A and B are shown apart, each in its own frame.
Chain A
Amino acid sequence: MDLRFTPEETAFREEVRAFIRNNLPKETRERLRMGHPPTKAETVQWQRALNARGWAAISWPKEWGGPGWSPVQRMIFLEENLAAPAPELLGFNITMIGPVLIQFGTEEQKKRFLPRAANLDDWWCQGFSEPGAGSDLASLKTAARREGDHYIVNGQKIWTSTAHNADWCFLLVRTNPAAAKRQEGISFLLVDMKTPGITVRPIISIDGSHHLNEVFFDDVKVPVEMRVHEENRGWDVAKFLLGNERVGIARLGKSRERIDFAKSLARETRSGGRPLSEDPAFRQRVAQLEVDLKGLEMMQLRVVSAYDKRRDGKPDPLSSAIKVRGSELLQATSELVMDVGGPQSMTAWAREADTASNEPALGPEWAAQAAGAYLMLRAASIYGGSNEIQKNILSKAVLRL
């Protein structure tokens, strides 16, 4: 047992840092540091820069453009990328549809979609949740009936993140309503978002941003060759995808970056006649978050270092614990930054700024963004399998209750 990074791993971290330092546009970094979510253009630019270096399809096999990294290297890369802070790789492309096509796709599907997904030539979105099917995904109703060489899709998806940016959607549909088990009548389709009959409607979230959507399907024609895996076996694909999704979900680098950012702000913020950074309550809170971060880091390292040794192909049950702790920490660190800003965090200037107003800023840019991040991150314990679902998984899969 040796928890230190090897010299090779440390050198790799340096290499990643240097690449980010030399290639990430300063304006992008500064905007992210201020708490803005990355724009579509920033995300595309950065993923293409990474892809040019061979660092976008990080978990894919080499033949499909993967860098051939170990799980530890992948973790180091993701941490450094988040800590920079740089835009994250688009998860829909890299950790969802990519691995799904590599595992289940036809040669034609792989050739057509994988290089474009890596380079973010296609922006993918995830059509899973429905108004009546959130955590209980298998109860989905969106229907696809076969007509010759096509499926005709009708129904509604919801909470579809970035559907308004997306070129393609991977979609769970019900192809056999009469199946004995709900899970057995589901198929997995790839849908061009420009297909007639698709309507995307924004859902404005409590942070005032447009990130989520409703997507309506009205007699949408999808060629049969756009089905992944066998008909009515889409649940296998969905389970595989959701298992993949949990691995990077702790987003440790983000929490670390936010703690460090809050500490730097607190040194410049006066409270009670002295810098906030000298306030014992503030320091205790930071210390507690750093302890929690360290605990999460240890948990993640254990999972990552065991990753290649697990042969059952199932996600490590500890990844549910990591999802819970990771999302709690993302939320807590966003609260910390917001609380440093105090009343300045309460202005809604960030929303006005979206309209390209020429008015001067109301206060510090970071403070105007801070509440938005806090509000948006309430979703962290809901998406990707809510924390309650994760506890269900732990109690069933590990505790056998």
Chain B
Amino acid sequence: MDFDLTDEQRLLADSVGRLMADTYSFEKRRALIREAEGYSAELWARYAELGLLGLPFAEEHGGFGGGAVEIMLVMEAFGRALALEPYLATVVLGGTALRLAGSPAQLEAMVPRIAEGQLKLAFAHGERQARYDLSDIETKATRSGAGYVLDGAKTVVLHGDSADMLVVSARTSGGRDDADGLSLFLVDGRANGVARRGYALRDGTRAAEVVLSGVEVGADALLGAEGAAFPVIARVVEAGIAAMCAESVGAMDAMHAMTLDYLKTRQQFGRPIGENQVLQHRSAEMLIQLENARGMAMLAAMMVDEPDAAERARNIAMAKVGVGQAGRFVSQQAIQLHGGIGMTEEYAIGHFFRRVMVIEHSFGDTAHHLNRLAALAA
């Protein structure tokens, strides 16, 4: 039992935090959102220089051998700055799929390029009819000669518009909700038959609708064993949840700090509004929720590599619920305590608010995970 960070981990958190503080002004971020790619290519290169993009990959494949705690530290710093880059999509989601299911040849070919910032990934899994159900997949992969042909449509593919390579889930056998029969494929984002429609989510981060029409891929595009991808998909999602929990905590931390600052400086009736006990208590309640979420994000990070699948799934679901509920409370109160200014697009609170909102609705919302837990609760 030990919550201490190692010196290397502390150094990592400090250097990412410093980079964010130095480069990610609110105005700069708003300018980036207005650009086509929706993030900073310059910063992406800096992440590569800092070793962030190869962080979770094994050193033998060209990575840095980091684990879920390192990812947590990076994501928390990103959350505090509302970073826009496709880190989650490439390193956490795509990266986890690659790490868990990639062949030596695939790892060798891709990891160094990811680490250098030359290869961006996206996890093209969700479908419109599926809502949050991971096994509800209609996209089909049909064998054709030595390879496969993919047909189907993927929705809200995070950073799917700028990804060089898509990790696509498709059904090689089985019916709509079967966990068995799912396979993962590496599909070039510019391959024939891939149509991508990029757009911004409510928080300004990018996503895409991806339509696959007769997309031909070789046998070497298969990531992992045919028909056996579901456990990999579940773990990709778990890693994504853990990372997003940390990001949400970073965003909540920033909102709480801003709100506190506002309570101390905003004057009404001739004194700072923070002198009102009702606002002091609300702020204390925000702190309690934030600290609760912080512990839950740590739990999620620690559970990402837990070998017992049921234990891992249960704890990560608990973390998602805890962070989701804390996120709603902290972000709603952050706007409330700011009053009118909190409603404006020119003020940062609303931007944090929307990131936390998007995170809650990614990979299963609070109700979804609470239902999963309830099924186990008897």
Question: Which residues of chain A have a CB within 8 Å of any CB of chain B?
Answer: 1-6, 9, 72, 263, 266-267, 277-278, 280, 283-284, 286-288, 290-292, 294-299, 301-302, 304-306, 318, 321, 324-325, 388, 390-392, 394-395, 398-401
Chain B 42-75, CB-CB to A under 8 Å as 1, else 0, gives 0000000000000000000000000001000000
- Tell me the complex Cα distance, A398–B322, Å: 22
Residues of A within 8 A of B376 (CB): 287
Q: A5-B1, A325-B292 are in contact. Are A391 and B374 (CB under 8 A)?
A: no
State how many angstroms separate the Cβ of A159 from the closest Cβ of chain B: 23
Question: Which residues of chain B have a CB within 8 Å of any CB of chain A?
Answer: 1-6, 9, 69, 260, 263-264, 274-275, 277, 279-281, 283-285, 287-288, 291-293, 295-296, 298-299, 301-302, 315, 318, 321-322, 325, 370-371, 373-378
Residues of B within 8 A of A287 (CB): 321, 370, 373-374, 376-377
B260/A295 in contact, CB under 8 A? no
State how many angstroms separate the Cβ of A11 from the closest Cβ of chain B: 13
- Tell me the complex Cα distance, A399–B5, Å: 24
Residues of A within 8 A of B293 (CB): 295
State how many angstroms separate the Cβ of A390 from the closest Cβ of chain B: 8
State how many angstroms separate the Cβ of A165 from the closest Cβ of chain B: 35
Main secondary structure of the interface of B (DSSP, over half): helix
Residues of B within 8 A of A401 (CB): 260, 263-264, 274-275, 279-280, 283
Partner of B288, one of A72, A291, A304, A324: A324
Residues of A within 8 A of B1 (CB): 2-6, 9, 72, 301, 304-305
Q: 16 A-B contacts, Cβ less than 8 Å apart? A: A2-B1, A2-B302, A3-B1, A72-B1, A291-B321, A291-B373, A297-B295, A298-B296, A298-B298, A299-B292, A301-B1, A301-B3, A321-B288, A392-B280, A395-B281, A401-B260
- Tell me the complex Cα distance, A279–B378, Å: 9
Residues of A within 8 A of B374 (CB): 280, 283-284, 286-287
CB within 8 Å: A-B pair count:
135
Residues of A within 8 A of B260 (CB): 399, 401
State how many angstroms separate the Cβ of A292 from the closest Cβ of chain B: 8
Q: A299-B292, A299-B295 are in contact. List 17 more A-B contacts (CB 8 A).
A: A1-B301, A3-B1, A3-B2, A266-B378, A267-B378, A284-B374, A287-B376, A291-B370, A294-B318, A295-B296, A301-B295, A304-B1, A318-B291, A325-B288, A392-B277, A392-B281, A401-B279
Closest 3 pairs between A and B when the two form their complex, measured CB to CB: A298-B295, A395-B280, A287-B373
Main secondary structure of the interface of A (DSSP, over half): helix
- Tell me the complex Cα distance, A294–B370, Å: 13
Q: A9-B1, A291-B321, A294-B315 are in contact. Are A395 and B284 (CB under 8 A)?
A: yes
Q: A291-B321, A391-B284 are in contact. Are A305 and B296 (CB under 8 A)?
A: no
State how many angstroms separate the Cβ of A393 from the closest Cβ of chain B: 8
- Tell me the complex Cα distance, A124–B292, Å: 35
B299/A298 in contact, CB under 8 A? yes
- Tell me the complex Cα distance, A4–B312, Å: 13
Residue of B263, B322, B325 contacting most chain A CB atoms (<10 Å): B322
